Structure 1
Amino acid sequence: MASGSTMALESTRPRLRKSKTLPEMSVSEMKAERMQQHRQQGLENDFYCKCFESFHQLVSTTMDATQSLALQYHFNPASSPSGDPRLIRAIVSLRVALDKSRAEETSAEQEWKQQWKVSPVRQSSLRWL
């Protein structure tokens, strides 16, 4: 037991154990550490913001294409969608939005991994979208 602790130090979490065994930090050291943590949190927030914006743009494009197709069917239900230029444009629009979303997601993920010094090799990572 150390520093007036009521439990065995070996049974505590590594971060708590580290804080109990290291000497106290000076105010300037503590300030520098907090500023670094603040910068890291800001970068992480930027990553999630980029992912959210990409997702929002994909949803918006999907909704626009869906509404366009629904209106077309509503006003002209007998038309064949296979040769319809509006349908083809909607499909292309959705495909472009999906490709753009994937590229933005990959870019944001790479920036995040670079910041946290995680290997950039993609190993069955979770997909955000």
Structure 2
Amino acid sequence: MADHRTGGTWDVIVTPWHLDEHIPDFPIPAAATQVDFPVLLSGTVPARMSLLHRAALDAVAQAARPLVLSGDCPTSRAVVAGLRRRHRDLAVLWLDAHGDFNDPVISTSATSAAWRWPC
């Protein structure tokens, strides 16, 4: 993916999962690197997510100009950790469509009791 400001390209990295569940139909651009979904043994969801985040962290740390497409927000902790390996002065631009596009039918985090459409 080209960066038109500098003429460079982004290293597109895809993490096709939500929490600890693989999303097999996650759209992956042709030139993207897909982070392998590791074998997850039984355990708590946070422990399983940590394995996924380590895989994402390694991919981000190796990329010159990472642009991560992810199926969940918690993967951002891996992205920031991977970037911090090389960049101590780090800024984050957060683009999150959660409030606009998730509903109780498609999201485990939007329960019908707590769900409210954005104003």
Which structure is larger by alpha-carbon Rg, 1 or 2? 1
Bigger relative CO (Cα 8 Å, ≥ 6 apart):
1
* TM-score normalised by structure 1 residue count: 0.26
Which has the larger share of helix? Answer: 1
* TM-score normalised by structure 2 residue count: 0.27
Which has the larger share of strand? Answer: 2
